[in-house]
Amino acid sequence: MAILIDENTKVLIQGITGSFGGRHAKLSLDYGTQVVAGVTPGKGGQTFEDKVPVFDTVSQAVAETGATASAIFVPPAFAADAILESVDAGVDLVVAITEGIPVMDMMRVKEAMKGSKSRLIGPNCPGVVTPGRGEKSQGGCRIGIAPGYIHQRGNVGVVSRSGTLTYEAVYQLTTLGYGQSTCVGIGGDPINGTSHLDVLKMFNDDPETEAIIMIGEIGGNAEAEAARWAKDHCNKPICGFIAGATAPPGRRMGHAGAIVGGDEDTAQAKKKILAECGIAVAETPSDMATTLLKHWGK
Amino acid sequence: MNIHEYQAKQLFDQYSVPSPQGKVAATPEEAAAAAEEFAGAKLVIKAQVHAGGRGKGHFKNGFQGGVHLIDSPAQAAEFAGKMLNETLVTVQTGEAGRLVRKVMVAEAVDISHEYYLSILLDRATCRPVIVASTEGGMSIEDVAHDTPEKIIRQHVHPLLGLQAYEIRKLAAALGLSGDLAKQFGKLLKNLYKLFISCDCSMVEINPLVTTPDGRVLGLAAKFGFDHHALYRHPEIVAMREPEEEDPREVAASEYDLNYIGLDGNIACLVNGAGLAMATMDIIKHYGGEPANFLDVGGGASKEQVAAAFKIILGDQAVKGILINIFGGIMDCNVIAEGVVAAAKETGLPLPLVIRLEGNNVEAGKATLAASGLNIVTAGSMADGAQKIVEAVS
């Protein structure tokens, strides 16, 4: 089952002819992901890596290849337009990897997407991985920039605002012999398409997912919102980790969204809410997998 | 980035947000000329630095206060002479103080009532929100805490923009009527235009005042800009003054590194913002104090790692370094080569612990081992944090 994507998902990549997009398109192909199309305006007719056709528009790519998911690797100034183009073409899942999109652009995109059938993940995120069942999780669906080889197919769902912390959690799980159903990086920006809560609900409904790691950080109240829902509705064990306990107030810690604005934005406040909602809180980032396993009774 | 009071006034003028008349001066002569221009009005002269507490601050030359009332062009020149190119120390600058390069001569207005007005982005609703209060001139956090009913919020539709009825609602809630309500409406409309046009993350007027002669003016303003949108605002980038910023942060930004200086003595160098925050946290967890936040990004080059290393070593408080890299896609050997090159160049005067994991990690570890440098390797984040805390204690 997994969530959002699986080995049959057909993926198109916006910005496939750029160095960043191209590099990760190749890594996804190597992983076994069905990358069926690329889109770069003005470069339609080219072929990527001798097998992936490049189109001028997302609509053409969808019509020709049946792609249902897109990955956005276009530069920040053009990313809002690229997201809306995918939405217009009826793509089910739009994963925006691009970092540095102006927040006003995202505010308008978020409003414009209301009522559409597309789901946006990101921006400023590592993407989504549903690991495959082959050697080093080959054969899975990898949309974005996560390292495929650290995964293993299994029953833990991972959701996080941070890329490298997601990898850290995945690596800990895999090393201990526990695989993942799907790993979702929702991104570090203040406005994103999909929240912790959205992903928790999907994991809760997914029979393959038996336990969940939720990684958050300072800024906003998304983790608290998810935890309060989980308290009454989620019947699966959850481990939580919140980064930024030592972050000074008012400073933006790398991620545009990682800033302590008020009393409820702090790591301490969030950890307290998570614990009150029955989530096992990992004390350090080194303990994410072990804390989950203990809570899970493994 | 922060901007000066006089630059905020320039933005207000450009967008027709009324504020007291004023002029910036870089010499005593310019200050006198400005005072001459506004003759007849009660005037104030203010040192321009990116720090609060100016009024109660002192100059290193002994002159007291960075804000003074003045009654003549001659006095404007005299006070400007005592402030310009002198160092002002306030509660916010620390002992080092800040060099005053400019002063502002402005009208000191009489106040009938002080209000609070700001526009910022509300993350929960993904919309701009206007926050207003009749309790101006004090910390809005205190007002929100003590008298939450006195905080008025109005969300604005991101695509429709600010509507006339929303302005009327706010004016009425603030108790403004007649001509004052009309002036307030115009000011708010223009302030919203400024907020959107300049890609602000926040614009705050505290206090917004009404005057006995029937004006509505923004007296003091604070701006926050979305740094991801600065590429389309060269006029705002031009307002940046690197001299007012932490030199380590300025150096880091030249190499596209995310660096924030802190007060501890264990420096860290990490890839990824979340992992960088978590690394600071785990240092603290094991009893150490992080000296900085430093994210070299997901695709750091050898040059960036070397630059990051030098910025860390430039901080005199640093007594040890923890490098924590999860090289998912990033080649661990590239990191290792960057570290070795920088360590050799600087002679590695401090204990260095490296935790390296991920892509091509064996080659990276071999590079470190072959370097002959005194580098301690760690098997996990916890192991690395414990080792560096021990090394500096």
What would the pLDDT profile of A15-37 be if each residue is shown by its tens digit? Answer: 999 999 999 999 999 999 999 99
pLDDT range class, residue A13, cuts 50, 70, 90:
very high
Say if the Cβ atoms of A111 and B158 lie within 8 Å: yes
Residue A155 backbone phi and psi in degrees, to 5: -120, 10
Q: Is the pLDDT of residue A44 over 70?
A: yes
ipTM field: 0.90
Residues in chain B with pLDDT values less than 50: none
What is the pLDDT at residue A260? 66
Task: State the nearest Cα–Cα gap between A164 and chain B, in angstroms.
Answer: 6
Q: Is the pLDDT of residue A256 over 70?
A: no
- CA-closest candidate to residue B37, choices B49, B27, B22: B22
Query: Residue A258: which of B127, B273, B382 has the nearest Cβ?
Result: B273
Spell out the SS3 assignment of B121-139: EECCCCEEEEEEECCCCCC
Residues 106-165 of A with CB under 8 A from B: 106-108, 110-112, 145-147, 150, 160-165
Torsional sign, CA A91, A96, A100, A103:
positive
Q: For the stretch B72-110, what's the b/e string if a residue is b when 16 or more beta carbons lie within 10 angstroms of its beta carbon?
A: ebebbbbbbbbbbebebbbeebeeebbebbbbbbbbbbe
% pLDDT > 90, chain A: 90
| pTM of this structure | 0.92
Say if the Cβ atoms of A255 and B278 lie within 8 Å: no
What would the pLDDT profile of A198-242 be if each residue is shown by its tens digit? Answer: 999 999 999 999 999 999 999 888 999 999 999 999 999 999 999
What would the pLDDT profile of B268-296 be if each residue is shown by its tens digit? Answer: 999 889 999 999 999 999 999 999 999 98
Q: Give ∠ CA B146-B147-B150 in degrees, rounded to 5.
A: 150
Peptide bond into A123 cis (omega under 30): yes
Q: How many CB atoms lie within 10 A of CB B34?
A: 23
What is the pLDDT at residue A262? 64
What is the pLDDT at residue B332? 87
CB of A268 within 8 Å of a chain B CB? The answer is: no
Angstrom distance (rounded) from CA A239 to CA A236: 10
Say if the Cβ atoms of A167 and B358 lie within 8 Å: yes
Residue of A73, A104, A150 to mutate when probing chain B, most B C-beta within 10 A: A104
Answer with the residue of higher pLDDT: B385 or A252: B385
- Residues of chain A neighbouring B201 (CB-CB closer than 8 A): 103
Question: Which residue numbers of B are catalytic?
Answer: 116, 204
What is the pLDDT at residue A261? 63
- Window from A81-90, A110-119, A135-144, B234-243 with minimum mean pLDDT: B234-243
The pair of structure tokens assigned to B107 is 């009208």
Q: Which residues contact B174 (CB under 8 A, 6 or more apart)?
A: B115, B132, B133, B134, B152, B184
Say if the Cβ atoms of A246 and B258 lie within 8 Å: no
Calculate mean pLDDT across residues A82-93: 98
What is the pLDDT at residue B373? 87
Query: Residue A164: which of B231, B258, B275 has the nearest Cβ?
Result: B275
Angstrom distance (rounded) from CA B361 to CA B273: 21
Instruction: Scan for tokens 């009208």, then name that residue.
Output: B107
Say if the Cβ atoms of B276 and A253 lie within 8 Å: yes
**Mean pLDDT, all residues of chain A:** 94
What would the pLDDT profile of A159-199 be if each residue is shown by its tens digit? Answer: 999 989 999 999 999 999 999 999 999 999 999 999 999 99
Calculate mean pLDDT across residues A53-65: 98
Say if the Cβ atoms of B380 and A215 lie within 8 Å: no
